[in-house]
């Protein structure tokens, strides 16, 4: 499968459009083809993920005694909702979205939501990424 990314850079964009045009014009007329285009979504940043694991998840895990992965799953489920699935005949719930699926903006929203949730539910103040703990 060919994947092309059209960036904001006009030179790169023109090169990708040229390559796409050539690819499309060379497709065999014997077969039907499907072409899909979707907006590029910037996934969470490594810095966001590092902060998420090192600060909110670690703090809540230490406070509650729950495993960090359980905390991550729980927070995502509470924030984005739950879906019921069946695994080997047993029903269980999983979050509609996981932290690895989030965009930078969605992840920022999860962090802010978690800070508010921790304050109201646990009485815990979770510092923002730009705050220094003293």
> Pairing mode, if any, of strands 90-95 and 82-87?
antiparallel
Q: Is the Cβ–Cβ distance between 6 and 17 less than 8 Å?
A: yes
Residue 133 lies in a domain: no
Residue 30 lies in a domain: yes
pTM of the full structure? 0.69
Residue 77 lies in a domain: yes
Per-residue pLDDT band for 118 (boundaries 50, 70, 90) equals very high
Residue 29 lies in a domain: yes
Looking at the structure, do residues 35 and 50 belong to the same domain, yes or no?
no
Q: Is the Cβ–Cβ distance between 107 and 114 less than 8 Å?
A: no
> Residue 133 pLDDT > 70, yes or no?
no
Looking at the structure, do residues 7 and 63 belong to the same domain, yes or no?
no
pLDDT tens-digit profile of 28-48?
Answer: 889 999 888 887 777 888 899
Residue 28 lies in a domain: yes
How many structural domains compose the chain?
Answer: 2
Looking at the structure, do residues 29 and 62 belong to the same domain, yes or no?
no
User: Count of alpha carbons within 13 Å of 52, Cβ hemisphere only?
Assistant: 26
> The domain containing residue 34 runs over which residues?
1-40
């Amino acid at each position: 499968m060919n994947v092309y990314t059209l960036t904001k850079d006009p030179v790169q964009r023109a090169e990708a459009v040229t390559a796409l045009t050539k690819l499309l014009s060379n497709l065999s007329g014997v077969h039907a083809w499907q072409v899909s285009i979707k907006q590029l979504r910037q996934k969470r940043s490594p810095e966001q993920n590092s902060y998420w694991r090192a600060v909110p998840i670690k703090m809540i895990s230490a406070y509650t005694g729950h495993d960090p992965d359980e905390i991550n799953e729980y927070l995502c489920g509470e924030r984005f909702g739950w879906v019921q699935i069946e695994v080997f005949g047993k029903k269980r719930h999983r979050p509609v979205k996981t932290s690895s699926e989030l965009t930078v903006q969605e992840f920022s929203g999860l962090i802010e939501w978690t800070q508010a949730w921790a304050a109201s539910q646990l009485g815990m103040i979770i510092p923002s990424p730009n705050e220094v703990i003293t």
